[in-house]
Structure 1
Amino acid sequence: MTTLRTPDAPVTVFGPDFPFAFDDWIAHPKGLGELPAEVLGSEVAIVGAGMAGLVAAYELMKLGLRPVIYEASKMGGRLRSQVFEGGRGVVAELGGMRFPASGTAFFHYVNRLGLQTRPFPNPLTPAAGCTVIDLEGQTHWARHLDELPPLFREVADAWAQALEQGAGFSGLQQALRERDVPRLKALWDRLVPLWDDRTFYDFVAQSDAFAALSFRHREVFGQVGFGTGGWDSDFPNSMLEILRVVLTACDDDQHLIVGGVQQVPLGLWQHAPEARELRHWPAGTTLAWLNAGAPRAGVKAIARAPDGRLAVTDTWGNTRAYAAVLTTCQSWLLTTQIAVEESLFSQKHWMALDRTRYMQSSKTFVMVDRPFWNDLKANGWPQMGMTLTDRLTRGTYLFDNGPDQPGVICLSYAWMGDALKMLPYDTEKRVQLALASLRKIYPDVDIARHIIGDPISISWEADPHFLGAFKGALPGHYRYNHRMYSHFMQDGFPTVERGIFIAGDDVSFTPAWVEGAVQTSLNAVWGIVHHLGGRSHADNPGPGDVFAEIGPVALPD
């Protein structure tokens, strides 16, 4: 069970909907449980080789199962690090690129693989060097908040006051920090029915703190935001979702993975656990070895086999039957890409899966000959800084790999409507549009002169294997999220619906954060073990063992 922590313990993604200590569970020396001897070596299907799929496969392998992994696109899912041609390992992070220290279950695997991290160059952080904010044609340079005009401090203070007055934020976060489950549950569960139908914008606009200020303050808040930048694209989303982000410090103390985050899922694919961690399999066993060196092709259909198992058919028409299947693809693909037999999910679950709302996201990267932005101007400021703007680019990030190494500029990172503006254009046109916008902010800087190699861009909504970047729950979607998140608890299901599981950040209550993918995959691990007759160790109970006691509050239908 969860142990109380000290008042000054770090904030982690501990709930708040389901305050279960996933980080402690996976680090426990007794492991995640045990399976009956007769099922050891049995195959289970994992649909999708992203972070959720490979975490689940890695843990199930350790427990003695043979995960058979299917992947329709690239291994890693939305943890995609694309290498620039000739760039000596210089990468563009097309999906997840900044990872909060509060994501302790994710960093369990980062540390296990021995990967290096460093602070992400977010606005107004030391890693950014300096930040340039360009709004309505006015440009401000700053290294910290106090160097900006008073308006920006007023916006930051109003946001902090709104959270405190509206949610009792400090008390809520302190309960989370201390892992005081009864207090955290009492505080959070009270908010859920009150806030399920509130948009982010409604919360901001109706708060006393912002109501006392001008519309301009709310506008600046939307354009520049807090933590990682502007949040106006999230204004239609449920306020519950935004509160989870700030409560669990997902928007603070973020890090990048040196060499690219795709190393994490690919590392799990190749990593051999210690011999003492493995049951059934010999020392040196890896997922790659169990899968003959490569995942199977994408899945075309999932149906109930005549013998009661689940039949999975791949792109080439090959069908294999499994006692359990875990799907980690985005939920829309269960109707658009994969012919899933309708009876495998209840109509309530189909409603939740189909009503998931995905947000668009666009990124455009260039590699440059060196981090020229560090060159100082006559006034002592660098040539460029991390840039937030209301122009087409929205967010521009600078990645310094060393003075003698090529650098990377994420020319534009945009969401929703701003991402859709880029959708019709090829990469070259996107670069031209971004450079034209940045030239208005930096008229004396010739970025194009430094570009080497081919640029890289992505629009996740245009990828048929994703159809969007990440979930953005709308007001009224809590019930859908509850159905998806709790799906791994299958004892009450009719037999026809058992054995197929779902995981991924869109199943999580914290979408867009890899920690949500990891935690839901661990829920699925417990569910699969339970389905196959296994159990957790008595001194290391799993999420399903305590779900009835501390699971998410259910709202009436």
Structure 2
Amino acid sequence: MAVTLKPPARRPADAPITMFGPDFPFAYDEWLAHPAGLGTLPASRLGTEVAIVGAGMAGLTAAYELMKLGLKPVVYEASRMGGRLRSQPFEGGSGAIAELGGMRFPLSSTGFYHYVRMLGLRSRPFPNPLTPAANCTVIDLEGQTHWARTLEDLPPLFREVAQAWDDALEEGAGFAELQTAMRQRDVERVKALWNALVPRWDDRTFYDFVAQSSAFQRLSFHHREVFGQVGFGTGGWDSDFPNSMLEILRVVLTGCDENQHLIVGGAQQVPLGLWHHAPQRLVHWPQGTTLAKLHHGAPRPAVKAIQRAGNGQLEVTDAWGGTRRYDAVLVTCQSWLLTTQIACEESLFSQKLWMALDRTRYMQSSKTFVMVDRPFWNDLRESGWPVMGMTLTDRLTRGTYLFDNGPDQPGVICLSYAWMSDALKMLPYDSAKRVQLALEALRKIYPDVDIASHIIGDPITISWEADPYFLGAFKGALPGHYRYNHRMYGHFMQDALPERERGIFLAGDDISFTPAWVEGAVQTALNAVWGIVRHLGGASHPDNPGPGDWYPHIGPVALPD
């Protein structure tokens, strides 16, 4: 039966922004919510095993949806389940946690929040700078400290920078019109506007966009410096200055840098929840089936090799030498691991795709957390301001976040959240040294606050670039990388591939056009679900066409090689 392609219903111009495109404006949230489900498989394929490499959000999203369709996902995990959604509890901390990976999730991530709601999890506003959830924000630059709750509390310099950024977006990208088209889910308009921007900004850096805009050229270098140090939304932008401007445009167009929430109890609950959740609607499997039950409680060990078997299937070998054969394999680990941790047969991907996988550039990131006896930062000074606030600074800590779990509960401080060169400054040091360095920096901002006296338990810290199973925190596309991203993202469309390259699929936020955001992991996982179903002879329901049905019509614009 033929699939009928009908664009999503038009929404009002003031509808909430969602991660609808802009490269591929497909309504993943509507596909997920449709009562017809994500597709059907031939009866002969029900119960077929499919390998899933990696138990992060992408891997477990795909595994969960494939299980619902009647397949048997076989999940492999080299390290910890949850991937970069890693919520580490403090010992004896009564629920106090350190969010070592993703910790703030924009409400525009409608695919991700589909699963948050399904699992019955709660979220609340993240204490970002200048938001009510932060209570107060302290900006410390060049030795000058400013206390604020809103932008209006700051000196005019900061409002000038904010206005210049808004003006630059309008001048360089026609921001308002494009974002309105995305709010309305006007597919044709989104495609027309975005496709014109891709060749214009792919080869140019974020810094170039800012520095060459007439809005910033009218101002001083110091304005650009302040924008890089503290930015607006989630904080400073200078770590992203070398990135392709397309990457930054996607962040702001899709609302990723605003209206962010944290997951109460820890973000890792979402992928782990998918592992343990029994779907209401299942094909083939009995009611009550979960991924955990299909795996007898635990995933299989790390994958060490993937190659094509003599019978045409894909052969997966794990860390202990066990080998299984599959008709389809989904790889969700970071792409560099296909050359550093997994012996992946070269002929499984084209040389063009290998170039894209190997040229992916990962950004460094470090975090250092401590647990404290109480949320002491809410104590008031004589001036009426709290003794401490969410802090943005040019000092070593860069960003300091305060997590209040209630007046009678231990609080958590992310002493330092840093990227790129600032993260590398922390790399050689153990947790005690990192805490010491952070406290010394914060003492210069808060000389009258004895943070150390409130610390209880052991600190928790991470440098993602030092983890052999990640080698970095998230992708940051460089100028000229659009073609690479296009190759990786579109790989789930396999009809035109030679037989030797079919059956192995890719997913993860680094495969998406929105790296560092969990919605990219969810959306590419759903692309892979569609691709695997098609590869095994299945199809979308006629009333609920999937991403691959739409891709030839509204897929990303192709730039010439």
TM-score surpassing 0.5? yes
Alignment-derived partner of residue 337 in structure 1: 341
Alignment-derived partner of residue 151 in structure 1: 157
What is the aligned residue count?
555
Structure 1 residue identity aligned to 2:423: A
Match of 2:78 among 45, 58, 72: 72
Alignment-derived partner of residue 6 in structure 1: 12
What does the per-residue CA deviation read over 1:22-43, in whole Å, with 9 as the maximum and x for residues that have no partner?
Answer: 0000110010000000000000
- SS of the residue corresponding to residue 432 of structure 2 reads helix
Match of 2:221 among 215, 239, 244: 215
Q: CA offset at residue 237 of structure 1?
A: 0.1
1:425 aligns to 2:429 (yes or no):
yes
Alignment-derived partner of residue 490 in structure 1: 494
How many angstroms apart in 2 are the aligned matches of 1:285 and 1:509? Answer: 33
Structure 2 residue identity aligned to 1:37: A
Range moving further from structure 2, 4-13 or 238-247: 4-13
Structure 1 residue identity aligned to 2:466: A
Q: CA offset at residue 226 of structure 1?
A: 1.4
Match of 2:184 among 178, 182, 185: 178
Structure 2 residue identity aligned to 1:380: G
1:41 aligns to 2:38 (yes or no):
no
1:134 aligns to 2:144 (yes or no):
no
Alignment-derived partner of residue 160 in structure 1: 166
Q: CA offset at residue 6 of structure 1?
A: 1.4
Alignment-derived partner of residue 3 in structure 2: none
Q: Provide the TM-score with structure 2 as the length reference.
A: 0.99
Unaligned stretches of 5+ residues in structure 1:
none
How many angstroms apart in 2 are the aligned matches of 1:289 and 1:535? Answer: 27
Match of 2:457 among 453, 459, 470: 453
Q: CA offset at residue 448 of structure 1?
A: 0.3
Match of 2:210 among 204, 212, 216: 204
Structure 2 residue identity aligned to 1:200: F
How many angstroms apart in 2 are the aligned matches of 1:521 and 1:360? Answer: 24
Alignment-derived partner of residue 275 in structure 2: 269
How many angstroms apart in 1 are the aligned matches of 2:494 and 2:544? Answer: 21
Match of 1:529 among 533, 536, 544: 533
Match of 1:322 among 319, 322, 326: 326
Match of 1:373 among 373, 377, 381: 377
Q: Write the mapping of 1:341-360 to structure 2, written as runs, cut at 5 A.
A: 341-360=345-364
How many angstroms apart in 2 are the aligned matches of 1:305 and 1:403? Answer: 60
1:463 aligns to 2:467 (yes or no):
yes
1:396 aligns to 2:404 (yes or no):
no
Alignment-derived partner of residue 310 in structure 2: 306
Q: CA offset at residue 145 of structure 1?
A: 0.2
Structure 2 residue identity aligned to 1:219: E
Match of 1:243 among 225, 249, 262: 249
How many angstroms apart in 2 are the aligned matches of 1:89 and 1:144? Answer: 31
1:411 aligns to 2:376 (yes or no):
no
How many angstroms apart in 2 are the aligned matches of 1:383 and 1:66? Answer: 54
How many angstroms apart in 2 are the aligned matches of 1:73 and 1:483? Answer: 28
Match of 2:482 among 478, 484, 492: 478
Q: CA offset at residue 209 of structure 1?
A: 0.1
Structure 1 residue identity aligned to 2:427: L
Structure 1 residue identity aligned to 2:156: P
Q: CA offset at residue 113 of structure 1?
A: 0.2
Identity of aligned residues (%): 81
Q: Which 4+ runs in 1 deviate beyond 6 A?
A: none
- SS of the residue corresponding to residue 75 of structure 2 reads strand
How many angstroms apart in 2 are the aligned matches of 1:325 and 1:438? Answer: 48
Q: CA offset at residue 81 of structure 1?
A: 0.1
TM-align CA RMSD: 0.4
Unaligned stretches of 5+ residues in structure 2:
1-5
1:297 aligns to 2:297 (yes or no):
no
Q: CA offset at residue 9 of structure 1?
A: 1.0
Q: Provide the TM-score with structure 1 as the length reference.
A: 0.99
Q: CA offset at residue 306 of structure 1?
A: 1.0
Structure 2 residue identity aligned to 1:285: T
1:543 aligns to 2:547 (yes or no):
yes
- SS of the residue corresponding to residue 381 of structure 1 reads coil
Q: Write the mapping of 1:32-111 to structure 2, written as runs, cut at 5 A.
A: 32-111=38-117
